[in-house]
Amino acid sequence: DERAREMADAFAAPVIVASEVREGSLRAEAEHRGIPIIVYEAGEALRFDESSIRAGVRGIRRVMRQLKMLPGRPPASFGEPVLAQDSAWVRAPQSGILVNAVKLGERVKTGQTVATISDPVGADQTAVASPLDGIVIGRVQLPLVHAGEALCHIAEFEHPKEAERTVAAFVEHQAGGSNG
């Protein structure tokens, strides 16, 4: 939807992932009613990540200004968001202790180990591989995982170098703490 893309551009997250709507979800209901919706995913489970919260508040204000719900124009962006061609969540093949092998924003290749999962004594280690070439846009931080849990979100881009630059600019912008 063009209106949702305009809102996503105004929000100014570094990466936009166009995902399928799941029946029964809030997004599906909004779509049935002709209401554009975007979903911001950031931070980590079970914790408040102040940097991600600041980015979310800043994005909401930018969208509200774009929609004329707040006065003024959105402040200049750190860069143009990049659209992912595809993305995949890498899931835990077994329960155990997780050791991440990649960082947020890191470029990975198909088959590259992105994490290992072991039993509590470290004896039975299983390498978890990337299913595609792309950039890590999300990653679990908790060290204990259950079989089937999402470990890592990898996005594929037409121009990976541009995506890397955009993510790096966003991280640098976040470090500045502006509230836009």
**Chain segment 20-66, per-residue pLDDT in tens:** 888 999 989 999 999 999 999 887 777 788 888 888 998 999 999 99
Confidence category of residue 7, pLDDT binned at 50, 70, 90:
very high
Average pLDDT across the chain, whole number: 88
Which CA distances in Å does 3 have to 9, 36, 139? 10, 6, 29
Identity at 94, one-letter amino acid code: Q
Q: What is the pLDDT of residue 175?
A: 67
Q: What is the pLDDT of residue 179?
A: 47
Q: What is the mean pLDDT of residues 105-119?
A: 94
